[in-house]
Structures are given as structure tokens and as C-alpha cells.
Amino acid sequence: MNQQLETEPLAGLNQAQREAVLHFEGPMLVLAGAGSGKTRVLTTRIARLVEHHGVDPARILAVTFTNKAAGEMRDRIARLVGHEPKGMWCGTFHAIGARLLRSHAAAVGRAPNFTIYDEDDNIAVIKRVMEAAGISTKAWSAKAVASLISDAKNALVTPAEYASLALDPVSRNASVVYRNLEQALRTANAVTFDDLLTLPVELLTSDEGLRRRMSERFQFILVDEYQDTNRAQYRLIKLLGGEHSNVVVVGDDDQSIYGWRGADIRNILDFEREFPDARVVRLEENYRSTPNILEV
């Protein structure tokens, strides 16, 4: 066991931070605002799972909202435990979704080398679908249609459900495009950025065996910035962690900065309903923890 993990990092934590770090199994909601030391809590917690509890890093899934944050988290953990956490999945929701889809592409009608469309690619394919359906791209903005479909996907609203709810002309046209878009993407062996969330949810929902295998692999799941998750991201975590409930989420219940991505604050408000046995810890804001040499 790394003795530094038992001394310096824990010694620099306040009571609430220590409670979050020392918690082992079971769900936990950590409410943490800016300056509360949540990043240190997450990294120290993962290091403790590996060093103190002997958890194989390959059984840990850590989810962040940016690639930079994921890289920094992995580096901090490596410094804490003294080696690279080999096998641990640490990345953004979209990166993790892409990794899962690459391994099971055929199940969603793709080849493993599928292309991930950026915003321009997405608008271009939507224009083609609109033209094929006889919808004027001059009368109706392809960008606006793309935005409506993106919102629907992130909320896990299916094309059929969306069509039933479409009341205004632009929504009705968007529903036609949404219905035809999947086949166009399959033909191109491509996915949109939103599909990196929705297709894994579809895959894990339809394949119970795969869901159980993935849940068994990821025995410990940690999610940062949980208040910024949308319904698809929430569902993905529920599918992966519902079997064992070793899910720890960290979020600020006072804000949601990515509302334009479909962030749903209900995800953090409903966590205790989804996980009735969840421990709730609130970190102190503007807390300045004692520095330690492993985080310099």
C-alpha cells in the first residue's frame, strides 16, 4: 500500500472531503460548488479504491466533461498511487460512448471504423435528407432542424415520439428528417456527436447480456459535473451502474452551465430517488485544502 496515500492526501482534507473519499461501496451524491476541492476528492477517492481496497483500475469508470479534465485526473491518480492506472476508463461521456460503440458497431448498423460527424458534417447530411424528402432547405434552416433533432436525441425522444409531439411546421418537417436520418447515417457508416450517447444507451438497453458484462466490469463509477448531464448521459450511467449501485456523482445543485446541451438539473435532484440508499455529502465552498507534494 502506498503509505503517502494514508498520510499526506487524507491529512489535507476536511471532514466532508474525508467522508467522500473514505466511502467505499454504495451510491453517493457529493454536492460541491466552486472552490470546494471536488477534483482532489475524486482523484484521492479513486487512488484509495486502488491502493487501500485493492480495486483493479480496469474496474473503474471515471467520467468528466472535457478531455483536458480527464487527462489531468489520470495524471493526478498516477502521482497518488505511483503508477499509471492501467485499464481504467477515464474520459468524457462522448469518448466513452465512442469506445463502447467501436467494440459493438455491428449491433447499431455500423462498421468499427465509423466516422464521427462534426457539426458541419451533420448539417450537410441533414440537408441531403431534407432534399430527398422534398423539404426546402431555403424555406427551412438545416441548422435549426439539426438543433431540434439534437435536443430530441439528448432527451432520448425517439423519432416516433417526436412526430407525435410535432405541432408547428418546423417541428413537423424536423420529424420527417429525424425519421430518415438514421438510415442515411448507416449508409455513410457515420454517427453524429449526439449518437455517441444515444446509441450506447440503445445498445445497452437492447442487449441485456452486454449490459450485465459492462456493469460487471465497471464496479465503481464516478461522474464529475453531474448537474450538467442530459437525459441520455443520465440513462447511460444508470444502465452501467444499476446492477451494483457503486455510483458516485459530484455536482453543484445551484447551477447548470451547459443548458444548451440539454443539461437536465433533474438528474441531480432525482439521484436519491433513483438510488434510495445514497449517502449525501456537501463539500464546503471556497475551501482551500492543505497542499501536498503529490498535486503540485
11: pLDDT strictly greater than 90: no
In the chain, how many H helices and how many E strands? Answer: 15, 8
Report the length, in residues, of the chain.
296
C-alpha cell read off for 119? 457539426
**37-46, 126-135, 151-160: segment of lowest average pLDDT:** 37-46
57: pLDDT strictly greater than 50: yes
Q: What is the pLDDT of residue 272?
A: 87
Q: What is the pLDDT of residue 194?
A: 97
Buried b (16+ CB within 10 A) or exposed e, 72-107: ebbebbbbbbeeebeebbbbbbbbbbbebbeebbee
Q: Please say whether the beta carbons of 211 and 205 come within 8 A.
A: yes
Q: What confidence tens digit (pLDDT) does each residue in 163-181 have?
A: 999 999 999 999 999 999 9
Distance CA 251, CA 249 (A): 7
Q: How far separated are the first and last CA of the chain, in Å rounded?
A: 22
Q: What is the pLDDT of residue 294?
A: 37
DSSP string, 104-165: TGGGGT--TT-EE--HHHHHHHHHHHHHHTT--TTTS-HHHHHHHHHHHHHTT--HHHHHHH
What's the whole-number mean pLDDT along residues 86-107? 96
271: pLDDT strictly greater than 70: yes
> pLDDT tier at 292 (50, 70, 90 boundaries)?
very low
> pLDDT tier at 262 (50, 70, 90 boundaries)?
low
C-alpha cell read off for 117? 460527424
Percent of the chain with pLDDT over 90: 78
Q: What is the pLDDT of residue 254?
A: 73
φ/ψ region of 133 (left if φ > 0, alpha if ψ in -120 to 50, else beta) reads: alpha
Q: What is the pLDDT of residue 73?
A: 93
Q: Please say whether the beta carbons of 175 and 162 come within 8 A.
A: yes
CA distances to 28, 38, 51, 231 from 55, rounded to whole Å, are 18, 21, 7, 29
What's the whole-number mean pLDDT along residues 11-32? 93
Q: Give me the chain's average pLDDT, please.
A: 90
Q: Please say whether the beta carbons of 191 and 199 come within 8 A.
A: yes
> pLDDT tier at 285 (50, 70, 90 boundaries)?
low
252: pLDDT strictly greater than 90: no
Q: Please say whether the beta carbons of 9 and 294 come within 8 A.
A: yes
The structure's pTM equals 0.88
Residue 194: HSE in the Cβ half-sphere, 13 Å Cα cutoff: 27
What's the whole-number mean pLDDT along residues 98-104? 97
Contacts of residue 71, defined as CB under 8 A and 6 or more positions apart, other chains included, come to: none
| Matching residue, cell 434510495 | 276
> pLDDT tier at 9 (50, 70, 90 boundaries)?
low
Distance CA 19, CA 23 (A): 6
137: pLDDT strictly greater than 90: yes
DSSP string, 13-51: --HHHHHHHH--SS-EEEE--TTS-HHHHHHHHHHHHHH
Percent of the chain with pLDDT over 70: 90
CB atoms within 10 A of CB 206: 11
Q: What confidence tens digit (pLDDT) does each residue in 194-244 have?
A: 999 999 999 999 999 999 999 999 999 999 999 889 999 999 999 999 889
Q: What is the pLDDT of residue 12?
A: 81
What strands, in cross-sheet order, belong to the sheet with 279-282?
A: 89-92, 60-64, 220-223, 247-251, 28-31, 279-282
